[in-house]
Amino acid sequence: MSREEYIYTVNPCYECGCYDPDEGCSMASVDIAYACRQETETFKIKSFYYNNPDFRKYVDRYCLTYKLQVDEALTHEIVKLTYQYYKDEEALNGKTKK
């Protein structure tokens, strides 16, 4: 198996070889724009969690139900889909109130 095939099958970050499964993106970058695509998605979801009270309520309830930490819950596919739903709803209805 070539290095590229190995990275593609093991590494969720396809842009570079800096992804560590335990630590996340290990690319030394100060600017989030240059960070790993995998990490920027997580950053956006976490930012939305702090700024949208409805999504935060959903995630908190999800964490209580499944006994998870917020950071772990935000990586689950169902939470990502719910994030997309709330994000689209916010775009249609305007900005949320805090």
- The DSSP code for 31 is S
Tell me the C-alpha distance between 95 and 69, whole Å. Answer: 27
Are 53 and 29 spatial neighbours (Cβ–Cβ below 8 Å)? Answer: no
Q: Quick one: pLDDT band at residue 49, thresholds 50, 70, 90?
A: very high
Tell me the C-alpha distance between 46 and 27, whole Å. Answer: 19
Mean pLDDT of 55-66: 96
Average model confidence (pLDDT) across the chain: 75
Cα–Cα–Cα angle for 82, 49, 96, rounded to 5 degrees: 85
Looking at residue 64, its amino acid is L
